[in-house]
Amino acid sequence: MESHRGKAWRFEDHVDTDQIIPAERLVAENLSKMNEFVFEKVRPGMAQKINKGDIILAGKNFGCGSSREHAPRSLIQAGVSCIIAESFARIFFRNSLNVGLLLVECKVDASEGDDIEVIPKAGKVINHSTGEEFNFPQYPEFVSELVAAGGLMSLIKEGRF
C-alpha cells in the first residue's frame, strides 16, 4: 500500500453515508460524476475544493448508515486518498476495501488544512504541520491480502475466492 500526503479535511463523529452522498443522487446516470455531490448538504462547496490526495480526518463511526457503495466510490472520485478515523462503520469499511479507498483507524490530532502524510507500510501518520506522529495497527492478514489484491472482485477473477 502506497503512502499518501495531502491536506486535512476535519469531521466529527458519526459522519453518515447520507452526508457523504445524499440518497437523491443515487441514480445510475450519476455514477461517473458522484464527486460533484460529496458532502453537498453539510459542507456545500467542499466537493469543488478537494485536491487530489487530500485526506479526511474524523472521529468515531465514520460511514455509518446506508450500505451505499456510492459513498467510498464518490470520495475516490473526488480525489480523497485516505480516511483517518477513530473507528469506521462496518459496511463502509468493507465497501472501502473492495473499491480501493484506504482507511486508517487511528486517533490523530490535526486541524482543518494541516499537511498530513499516511505511511501504511510503517503504520504511521505524520502531521507535518505540527510535527506530531501517530501509529496505527496493521490490518488482519486476510484483510491485508484483500486490499493488496485490489478487492474482492480481483480475488474472484484470479480464482482465489
The residue type found at 94 is R
- Which residue, 4 or 68, is less far from another protein as judged by CB? 68
Q: Is 87 one of the binding residues for another protein (CB under 8 A)?
A: yes
Strand partners, 88: 62
Q: Is 151 one of the binding residues for another protein (CB under 8 A)?
A: yes
Of residues 106 through 135, those in contact with another protein by CB under 8 A are none
Nearest distance from residue 32's CB to another protein, in Å? 11
- Which residue, 9 or 62, is less far from another protein as judged by CB? 62
Q: Which of 105, 95, 42 is nearest to 70 (CA)?
A: 95
Residue 98 is classified by DSSP as H
Q: Is 76 one of the binding residues for another protein (CB under 8 A)?
A: no
- DSSP H or E stretch at residue 73: helix 70-78
- Contact (CB, 8 A) for 148 and 102: no
Q: Could you give the angle at the alpha carbon of 17 between the alpha carbons of 1 and 107, nearest 5°?
A: 50
**Site for another protein, rule CB under 8 A:** 14, 16, 18-19, 22-24, 26-31, 41-42, 60-61, 64-70, 73, 87, 89-91, 94-95, 98-99, 140, 142, 151-153, 156-157, 161
